[in-house]
Amino acid sequence: MCGIVGYIGKKNCVPILINGLKRLEYRGYDSAGIGIINNGNSKIVKNKGKVSVLEENVNNLQLTANIGIGHTRWATHGIPNEINAHPHSNESGSLFIIHNGIIENYRTIKTDLQNLGYKFTSDTDSEVLVHLIDYFINKGYDLCKAVQFALNEVVGTYGIAVIYNNEPDKLIAARKGSPLVVGLGENENFIASDVSALLSYTKQIVYLDDGELAVITKDGFTVKTISDKEIQKEVHEISISLEEIDKSGYPHFMLKEIMEQPDSVWNSMRGRLLHEEGTAKLGGISEVMDRLVNSNRIILSACGTSWHAGLVGEYMIENLTQIPTEVEYASEFRYRNPIISKDDTVILISQSGETADTLAALREAKNRGALVLGICNVVGSTIARESEAGVYIHAGPEIGVASTKAFTSQLVVLALITLLVARKKNLSAAEGRVIVEALQDLPEKVYQCLKLNETIEQIANEFKDASNFLYLGRGYNFPVALEGALKLKEISYIHAEGYPAAEMKHGPIALIDENLPVVFIAPKDSTYEKVVSNIEEVKARGGRLIAIASENDNDIDELVDYSIKIPDTVEMLRPILTSIPLQLLAYHIAVKKGLNVDQPRNLAKSVTVE
């Protein structure tokens, strides 16, 4: 959620910190700040609001330093304001800390420190850390030891960076449940919560794991556990380019990422289809295929948009493999004492691979002996590293907070897994080839959907002032209704609900009047006639109707106010096509309302706290 960046070397760290924070803005935040040390002098600059405000304030001060840390905060404890913004310092202003995560026992620690005479200025849980580290420094320990002792006292999650005026040749970083990486340069080194902050400077990355602490100097780094056991870490070469995280001429990252979907869908299946055999090839799960194919049950666990992908996956897997499949909110999974056996497979879905609730579900499933697989986008992420096996979606960097291309790529990967398992169980080669050919045709069909952009923009103009929306679909397209409603809520702040179309008569029909837009996902599939009946019911009550329909369906035009026609494909892949017009509809409504679609209020790209 929050963003961390740090630098130690020979250059002026201030523009490096500001540039890194700009790269992290997509994660969501409400305040920003930097802390620097220069020739024994330390300085914090922070403010509520955007990094651009921080940059202006910093430029006015003409600061220079060779070591510093920067932070974008997404408020948990304490309102968004300058006092609660990071970095936080000890009373003397010699020790600075930035922190992602939540310290669950901060009240107890705060009371103990207050009893010792420590004064607190913020409402945050993070401030206890800087005073606790200061306490151990005053006991005579060096910075590294003081941080280790402090972290052994806290309960919760953290990604931290610490600098100290009296030891200006080192930067300390540590993580538990909140991602951190070390970036390696020549006579300079970096830290960040996301590699995107470092791409201008290095592609040599070291991933910190939970319970690890890094001592970083301009010439190198060492990693050890919180209990002081030294660890040898592998250096990874990052393949992402700066161009991939730029807007490339688009007004927003979200529109760019929507328009990238012909490529991202193709990249998710590239090299993974075997046409003649009618199956898929997924090297990431090849060693566990026997366990997967012979699973008694498959559980898909995720949050938000990824959970909606899991719902589509449930339809795919059960329909083609006949393996009982369930979808669980990761945020509820570990708290309800789930019944899991060693014969079950649990598949965790997360764009970032760092989602705290999904990671907790992964560990719970692992502890209970299930086969644990990951589906994620970010290479080297925690879920990717802790899963027994898994599949990358290869969607490329997704900067917009509201997920678009990652969703459709997750659906492609779920289709590939389904195809592979089904072919090993009961699906014939001929049936498999039909699915393979449909997958191969998808990128072009996605492109055809994107050509509807101008039409959808015109429809958005008609509904930008609506207060509520209702999205309805059946079968495979019920999860698409949920996802369409979520997209609209996330970026336009219009209240929207997704429902199975058949459930409309069991409550939501009471809402329908001439002011309520109702979006039907109504391609010509096995439930089409039933959906048409639901459309008639809404029409009879004066609802304003929008339909996502098949390109050859002329009859539906007489029933609805607006129809958006998409190409046809096999039923299990239709959600990939039906979801794209809904992404565009949400995008254009939000833009026409003058909202920031890439950084919607209160939201974060990667939710790394519970």
Mean pLDDT confidence for 544-552: 93
- The string over 180-208, giving b where at least 16 C-beta atoms fall within 10 Å of a residue's C-beta and e elsewhere, is bbbbbbeebbbbbbbbbbbbebbebbbbb
In tens, the pLDDT along 44-80 reads: 999 998 899 999 999 999 899 999 999 998 777 778 8
CA gap 421, 322 in Å, rounded: 10
Q: Which residue has the higher pLDDT, 152 or 178?
A: 152
| Residues forming the active site | 2, 605
DSSP one-letter string for 295-314? -SEEEEEE-HHHHHHHHHHH
What's the rounded Cα separation, in Å, for the pair 392 and 379?
7
Residues in contact with 12: Cβ distance below 8 Å, sequence separation at least 6, in sequence order: 64, 65, 66
What's the pTM? 0.80
pLDDT of 101 = 86
The confidence score (pLDDT) of residue 243 equals 65
Give the Cα separation of 610 and 608 in Å (integer).
Answer: 7
CA angle 440, 442, 444 (to 5 degrees): 105
> What mean pLDDT comes out for the span 379-394?
91
Confidence of residue 393 (pLDDT cuts 50, 70, 90): very high
201, 13 in Cβ contact below 8 A? Answer: no
The band of 539, judged by pLDDT with boundaries at 50, 70 and 90, is: confident
What is the rounded CA–CA span in Å between residue 544 and residue 538?
Answer: 8
Q: pLDDT, tens digit, for every residue of 349-375?
A: 999 888 888 998 999 999 999 999 999
- Using 50, 70 and 90 to split pLDDT, how confident is the model at 608? low
Average pLDDT of the chain is 91
Rounded CA-CA distance 221/180 in Å is: 14
Considering only residues 380 and 292, tell me which one the structure prediction assigns the higher pLDDT.
292
Ordered structural domains, the chain, with CATH? 3-243 (3.60.20.10), 270-450 (3.40.50.10490), 455-599 (3.40.50.10490)
CA–CA separation, 4 and 181 (whole Å) = 10
Tell me the two tokens of residue 469. Answer: 């929306």
Q: Mind spelling out the 3-state secondary structure of 330-359?
A: HHHHHHHCCCCCCCEEEEEEECCCCCHHHH
DSSP state of 82: T
pLDDT over 90 (residue 409): yes
- Residue 434: pLDDT band by 50, 70, 90 thresholds? very high
pLDDT, average across residues 241-256? 81
15 exposure class (CB count in 10 Å sphere: 0-12, 13-18, 19+): middle
Q: Who's near 609: CB < 8 A, 6+ residues apart?
A: 1, 76, 100, 101, 102, 157, 178, 356
Report residue 471's pLDDT band, with 50, 70 and 90 as the boundaries.
very high
What gap in Å lies between CA 257 and CA 267, rounded to an integer? 14
Q: Which residues contact 295 (CB under 8 A, 6 or more apart)?
A: 323, 343, 344, 345, 371
The whole-number pLDDT of residue 369 equals: 93
Query: Which tokens sit at 58?
Result: 């910093």
Most confident of 322-336, 414-428, 534-548: 414-428
Of 241-245, 326-330, 358-362, the least confident: 241-245
Average pLDDT of the segment spanning 421-435: 96
d(CA 604, CA 589): 20
